[in-house]
Amino acid sequence: MKIDLTRHPRLLTESWMKAFGAWSKTLLKYIYGKDINTVANLNEEEQKLNFVIRGEVEDIKSYANAILAEKDYLEAYAQFGKDHPMTNKHRIVLDQAVQDFESKTEIRWPFKDED
C-alpha cells in the first residue's frame, strides 16, 4: 500500500480518492485489530501490512494525527455513545485534525459522519 500525499490536488481523480479511503480503512483495521466489530466491511483478504506514505513531513504528520483522531473518536462512540461528553470531545479533536489535514494537503478527508 502506498499513500502519496505529493500529488497535486487538481490531479486527484475519483479512483485515487477511493483508493485513499481504502488505504485509510486498512490502516484503521490494523489499528483496531481483528477483534473489533465494525460497520464497514473490513474483511478483505488478510495480508501483512506493508505500506509507504510519501509527502512533506507536515502533510504526513497531519494525516497521522487525523487517522489517530478518527480511531479515538470511533472508540469513544462505541464505548459511550454519540451524545456523551467524551465522544463530543473526541469529535472536536477529530474535526480539528481533519481541518488541519485538508488545509495542509488540499485533499478531502475520506470519512464523514451522517449527522
Q: Please state the rounded mean pLDDT for residues 55-79.
A: 89
The predicted model scores a pTM of 0.63
More confident call, 103 vs 1 = 103
Query: Which of these ranges, 36-45, 79-88, 95-104, 105-114, has the smallest mean pLDDT?
Result: 36-45
Are 74 and 16 a contacting pair, CB within 8 Å? no
Cα dist from 49 to 26, 31, 34, 46, whole Å: 8, 11, 13, 9
What CA–CA distance (Å, rounded) separates 6 from 101?
Answer: 13
- pLDDT tens digits, one per residue of 19-54: 767 777 777 776 666 555 545 444 455 555 566 777
The residue behind cell 473489533 is: 36
What confidence score (pLDDT) does residue 40 get? 47
What confidence score (pLDDT) does residue 55 get? 81
pLDDT at 61 over 70: yes
| Extents of the domains making up the chain | 2-105
More confident call, 26 vs 108 = 108
pLDDT at 104 over 70: yes
What are the two backbone dihedrals, phi and then psi, of residue 4, each rounded to the nearest 5 degrees?
A: -110, 105
What CA–CA distance (Å, rounded) separates 70 from 73?
Answer: 5
What CA–CA distance (Å, rounded) separates 105 from 102?
Answer: 5
